[in-house]
Amino acid sequence: MIIAVDGPTASGKGTIARALAAHYGLPYLDTGLLYRAVGRQVFLDGGNPDDGGDALAATSFPDGLLLDPHLRSEETGGLASRVSIHPSVRQALFARQRTFATQAGGAVLDGRDIGTVIAPDADVKIFVTAAIETRARRRWSEMRERGADVTLNEIAADIRARDERDAARTDAPLRVAEGAFVIDNSAMTREQALAAAVEAVEAAR
């Protein structure tokens, strides 16, 4: 069973995807981490994330980079969203994601284009979203817990910029895949959102 989970930044898609993977005993891939590694590698190389050549070169990042704690930062998230615009970068990361998705026994993948591009044949497609205020507030408290010195307005502006970039790009823009089950968790607890996701999987299989 392939489960595709897509959605915008800080929508809670990672939490839902991880919980589904644990619930169904499936391997899980956070595809955003691949784009983050490319963004981080461009930075380490002193390259320009908006330059397609520099970004493509960075797709040969070493596997160890996936464990770098810097990958989770807002800065790296911004770099990831810039390198992910280049079709050559998306193409270079395609095989890795596709192989993971189609492994024996199935998998759960989360990202922006899993249900539309990477696994349009997924058994279950879930699109997770929430109001921008909700997403910004969640990300803000998460960052403050980690001791980051940021304002809610800064986070909201950052999220808005990433949403716009992800939705406006011509190659694999963020959109709801055909047949996807949409979970807007703005007014839901984590448990309610998880229950809705399990319900979607059960309805589809």
Residue 106 counted as an annotated binding residue: no
Residue 4, classed as helix, strand or coil, is: strand
Does position 112 interact with ligand C5P (CB under 6 A)? The reply is yes
Residue 10 counted as an annotated binding residue: yes
Q: What angle do CA 29, 35, 40 make, to 5 degrees?
A: 125
Non-local CB neighbours of 109 within 8 Å, separated by 6+ positions = 2, 3, 4, 5, 17, 28, 29, 31, 97, 100, 101, 118, 119
Residue 101 counted as an annotated binding residue: no
Amino acid found at 69: P
Cβ(82)–Cβ(166) below 8 Å: no
Cβ(172)–Cβ(44) below 8 Å: no
Does position 134 interact with ligand C5P (CB under 6 A)? The reply is no
Residue nearer to ligand C5P on the CB measure, 28 or 35: 35
Residue nearer to ligand C5P on the CB measure, 9 or 59: 9
Closest separation in Å from C-beta 94 to ligand C5P: 10
Residue nearer to ligand C5P on the CB measure, 102 or 199: 102
Does position 12 interact with ligand C5P (CB under 6 A)? The reply is no
Q: What is the C-alpha to C-alpha distance for residues 159 and 10, in angstroms, rounded to an integer?
A: 8
Q: What is the C-alpha to C-alpha distance for residues 42 and 52, in angstroms, rounded to an integer?
A: 11
Does position 166 interact with ligand C5P (CB under 6 A)? The reply is yes
Cβ(106)–Cβ(1) below 8 Å: yes
Buried b (16+ CB within 10 A) or exposed e, 156-181: bebbeebbebbeebeebebeebeebb
In this structure, how many other beta carbons lie within 10 angstroms of the beta carbon of residue 67?
9
Closest separation in Å from C-beta 185 to ligand C5P: 16
Residue 125 counted as an annotated binding residue: no
Does position 84 interact with ligand C5P (CB under 6 A)? The reply is yes
Task: Figure out which of the listed residues 86, 162, 181, 183 binds ligand C5P, where binding follows CB under 6 A.
Answer: 162
Does position 125 interact with ligand C5P (CB under 6 A)? The reply is no
Residue nearer to ligand C5P on the CB measure, 68 or 113: 113
Does position 80 interact with ligand C5P (CB under 6 A)? The reply is yes
Closest separation in Å from C-beta 60 to ligand C5P: 18
Residues found near ligand C5P in the complex (CB under 6 A): 9, 31-32, 35-36, 77, 80-81, 84, 111-113, 162, 166
Binding site membership for ATP: which residues? Answer: 7-15
